[in-house]
Homo-oligomer: A and B are copies of this chain.
Amino acid sequence: MTAAAGPSGSAPLGVAMIGYAFMGKAHSQAWRNVAAYFDVPTVEQRVLAGRDAEQVAQAAARFGWAEAATDWRDVIARDDVHIVDICAPGWLHAEIAIAALEAGKHVLVEKPLANSLTESEHMVAAAQAARARGVQSMVGFNYRRVPALAYARRLIADGRLGTVRQVRASYLQDWLADESAPMTWRLRKETAGSGALGDIASHVIDQVQFLLGDTVTDVSGRLHTFVERRPGPGGPEDVTVDDAAWATLSLAGGALASVEVSRVALGRKNSLRIEVYGSHGALAFDLERLNELEFLDGTAPGAEQGFRRIVVTEPDHPYVGAWWPPGHVIGWEHTFTHQIRDFLVAIRDGASPSPSFEEGLRVQRVLAAIEESATTAKAIQL
């Protein structure tokens, strides 16, 4: 095992990325732009790794990486690579992340942490060992870096909602609403682990725990597959993961949260909605309008109360002072830019970035409990 391989002196940190699909494109954007807005250690996009030599070369050119590579093992072995950003599919997370950490590289891994609890636990062990040597790690729950949600957390932490009682959260998409949409690896349990549950309920659960600064203690859940067969190359195939999921969650501090996620909610494109009701205030958010937060101050006189639409683009809102003047909205992609910013600042300061692998594991445990509850039709303690 190697200690954190920081560059000598003020030389730039070298970054390698594994994977170049949807998440690779989004993370590349963040690496390419972060220093134009935030004061962070200098970084260089050194190498992009992927299996297909031609495609990865094209992606590297397009997304701003100096080199391309086809073997992630070579990449993490390089001395000029100090950070490894893992955007490969979930079943590869554990192997790559553990190897990279052992090689002394700081690691950022996309969510979910892994496809199984066992893998996740191994990753946590690796992260803890690495952390002791000054090697940092982080899991990519990027929605913690939506300015409106970061601001929401601040309002809750500052007591502006009083005691939080009830959380109503959903993440609705519709890309599987059409029953003729074809079969893919994402719809098979053996490759994807789960469906909407792992993919988008994971975001919701992390967000609920993040906003409240609290942890889930028990769950009741339900999974359902509305479209049970989809066209494959050789005829109809069985869909073996959920396309919608529901849960109620108890939190240690006494709050209850309801969760609903779907890939067949026609007309909802990327609608992560969260409502938080406390004894003295309330909040509402929708990712399709991510620059806005609705806040109700329950301490105002009754006649004056109402959900106010805050456009979260003011200089003293989290992150956005770095961007544009008030009212000039930012896009979804900058949740990743902010994530990289915080990751780099933690590395510079020798601090542990959040969400840690432990936090990622905690989300995985909740997902597993929901699945167990769905199977047994009983409530499950965590």
Contacts and interface: CB of A to CB of B under 8 A. Distances in A.
Interface of A: 22, 25-26, 28-29, 32-33, 35-36, 62-64, 151, 165-166, 168, 170, 172-175, 177, 179, 220, 222, 224, 226, 244, 246, 248, 254, 256, 258, 260, 262, 264-271, 275, 277-282, 287-291, 294-298, 302-311, 313-317, 323-334, 377-379
Contact of A325 (B166, B175, B290): B175
Given A329-B329, A331-B334, 14 more contacts: A25-B36, A32-B33, A166-B244, A166-B262, A175-B325, A226-B254, A246-B258, A265-B277, A266-B278, A269-B311, A288-B311, A303-B316, A305-B310, A305-B314
11 contacts: A151-B303, A168-B260, A266-B296, A267-B282, A267-B296, A270-B327, A289-B329, A295-B306, A303-B310, A331-B333, A378-B378
Contacts of A317: 303
A62 B33 CA distance: 9
Contact of A165 (B264, B330, B331): B264
Given A258-B260, A298-B266, A35 B62 contact: yes
Given A279-B179, A289-B289, A296-B308, A269 B327 contact: yes
Contacts of A289: 289, 329
A168 B326 CA distance: 22
Contacts of A269: 311, 313, 325-328
B326 A329 contact: no
A288 B325 CA distance: 12
Closest 3 CB pairs of A and B: A269-B327, A270-B327, A308-B308
Nearest to A260: B258
A267 B303 contact: no
Contacts of A270: 325-329
Given A29-B36, A267-B305, A277-B266, A324 B313 contact: no
Contacts of A326: 175, 269-270
Nearest to A290: B329
Q: How many copies does the complex hold?
A: 4
A248 B327 CA distance: 26
Contacts of A296: 266-267, 308
Nearest to A296: B267
Contacts of A25: 36
B35 A32 contact: no
A140 B75 CA distance: 43
Contacts of A22: 324-325
A85 B289 CA distance: 32
A317 to B, nearest CB: 6
A182 to B, nearest CB: 16
A323 B74 CA distance: 31
Contacts of A62: 35-36
Contact of A220 (B271, B302, B310, B377): B377
Contacts of A256: 222, 224, 244, 246
Residue among A32, A222, A290, A304 facing the most chain B CB atoms (10 A cut-off):
A304
Contact of A304 (B35, B168, B268, B295): B295
A288 B329 contact: yes
A304 B62 CA distance: 31
A186 B279 CA distance: 20
Given A266-B278, A302-B316, A309-B306, A332 B333 contact: no
A91 to B, nearest CB: 22
B298 A177 contact: yes
A293 to B, nearest CB: 8
